[in-house]
A and B are shown apart, each in its own frame.
Chain A
Amino acid sequence: MAHEAPASRLVFHMSATERGGSAGRSDLMFLRTALLVLKKDFAIEVKTLEILVTTLFFAVSCVLVFSFAFVKEGQAPPDAAAGILWIAIAFSGTLALGRTFERERYAETLRALLLAPAPRPALYVGKLLGILVLLALDALILVPLIALLFTAPLFARPLLLLLLLAGGTVGFAAVGTLFAAMLIRSRTRDVLLPILLYPITVPVIICGVRGTAALLESPPDETTAVMWLGILFALDVVFLTLALWTFEPLMTE
């Protein structure tokens, strides 16, 4: 072990000089690390498209199951589409979170990532961006599908819907990425992730569902949607700040 000591000191020294640059340089380093993690996840995913295809199929089956519960005489209640959309996103998001980190656990690659001389919050941001891309692709298919199946005027206010979806997925994924990363060490992670995630992200889901439902009214109720959007963004700020703040101590063993 003794001969390894100089090497580790060297690594520490290198990282210390790299971090010691100007504030602008360390910001750039943070961004580069986050994008590298995203690029890595993207490169693995495009080979098989495993997570995207499976979660998307799961989301579509969710939509079908819920349509059996809500549709009566060929018609769904007017704001059912909003609820179904958000439930499908939340459920498939949980699945995507679990799979993404299962991949990291399988070959202990998360440990390797954490050992890298990079700011840890950057790793978190990288993983978060990966989940967000997946959820965005999910939503890209789900929104037209639900609009079609339930004849819901989801595209009446496209910008507001886009903002609601963005705010909702960021809030959901911010908490989800943190918890999925922590749960990697736990034996019961499969069941604990939804148990932890749903109660804490319910305010996000409420804002998303009520905001979307307001858009589905005719004419669309813009003031209500904007109000929910405001709460949603406030929640996002709280969740992101807390996650960035706690990621470092949580991932330290």
Chain B
Amino acid sequence: MKKSFVPLAVVTALLFVIAPILIARAPYESEMLLIQKIFYFHVPSWVAMYCGLLVCAVGSIWYLFKGNRVADRYAESAAELVLLFGLNGLVSGPLWARKAWGVWWQWDAKLTSALLLWLIFVAYLLVRKYGGPGSEKLAAAVGIFGAAVSPFVYVSVNIWRTIHPKTSVVPDIVKNPAKGFAAPLLVSMLAFVLLFVLLLMVRVYLAAHQDALDELYLAHED
């Protein structure tokens, strides 16, 4: 395990302690009041998911063209984290929607497209699990196509008029820190991204050991 792991873990833990305090102190949003605070959990989940998507795509390209096993481990681990953080977003979203819009699930573009992106990475993991030997390359193609589709999914939000808060809400909040929404959001985002990095490190470490073990088994059989 890398030396940076322990200090990073300490910083992440600290951020996760600070974040709830900042969120509790943040002012209420004028229309949604308390329920708006899911926002500090919901948005960072998606940010972490997109980090995973990016890592998976870069790892897939690297693996496919250079045949680098380490890159493949990163891609696989990142895809699993996409699953985890995406699930976080997909669960917290309907909880917020139930209070804000009155329905659990609204077939709006952003929700649907997030679900779609998430499904692509479920497919990625299904291929790895059930594809049999050589499925790593197949999965790498899925990762690359999945990342290539994501901008189209993102653009669709702005084309369709939806009831989802526009994508510009987040930049607006960051630009107007006077309202008091920015600090808790930034802290929770940082906490989630760091958590993502930590989990990625642990998972890649695990994958490397799995590979080493497999090689030892093969060597023993020969």
Interface residues of A (CB under 8 A from B): 175, 178-179, 182-183, 185-188, 191-192, 195-196, 199-200, 202-203, 206, 227, 231, 234-235, 238-239, 242, 246, 249-250, 253
The residue among A200, A227, A231, A250 with the most chain B CB atoms within 10 A of its own CB is A200
Give B105-139 as 1s and 0s: 1 = Cβ < 8 Å from A's Cβ atoms: 00000000000100110010011001111110110
Can you name 7 extra interface pairs (CB under 8 A) apart from A178-B141, A203-B153, A238-B152? A192-B127, A199-B120, A199-B146, A200-B123, A239-B145, A246-B141, A250-B138
Task: Check B131 against A192 for contact (C-beta < 8 Å).
Answer: yes
Q: Which of B131, B133, B134, B144 contacts A242 (CB 8 A)?
A: B144
B212 within 8 Å of A by Cβ?
A: no
- State whether A242 touches B126 (Cβ < 8 A): no
A41 CA to B40 CA in the complex, in Å?
Answer: 56
Q: Which residues of A contact B134 (CB under 8 A)?
A: 185-186, 253
The verdict on A199 contacting B123 (CB below 8 Å), with A249-B65, A250-B137 known, is: yes
A242 cross-chain contacts in B, Cβ below 8 A = 144-145, 148
- Is residue B149 contacting chain A, with contact meaning CB distance below 8 A? yes
**Structural contact, A249 and B152, CB atoms closer than 8 A:** no
B146 contact from A200, A234, A250, Cβ within 8 A? A200
**What are 24 pairs between A and B in contact, CB < 8 Å?**
A179-B138, A185-B133, A185-B134, A186-B131, A186-B134, A186-B135, A188-B132, A191-B130, A192-B126, A192-B131, A195-B126, A199-B116, A199-B123, A199-B146, A200-B120, A200-B149, A202-B116, A203-B149, A203-B153, A203-B156, A238-B148, A239-B145, A249-B64, A249-B137
B75: Cβ under 8 A from any A Cβ: no
Pair B137/A182 contact, Cβ less than 8 Å: yes
Enumerate chain A residues within 8 angstroms of B120, measured Cβ to Cβ: 199-200
Rounded to whole angstroms, the CA-CA distance of A117 and B146 in the bound complex is 32
Question: Would B64 and A188 count as touching, CB distance under 8 A?
Answer: no
Q: Contact between B131 and A188 (Cβ–Cβ < 8 Å)?
A: yes
What are the interface flags for B145-164 relative to A under an 8 Å C-beta threshold, 1 for contact and 0 otherwise?
11011001101100100000
Which residues of A lie under 8 Å from residue B153 when comparing CB positions?
Answer: 203
| Interface flag for B58 (CB, 8 Å) | no
A179 to B119, CA, bound (A): 17
* A250 CB contacts on chain B under 8 angstroms: 64, 137-138, 141
Does B19 have its Cβ within 8 Å of any Cβ on chain A?
Answer: no
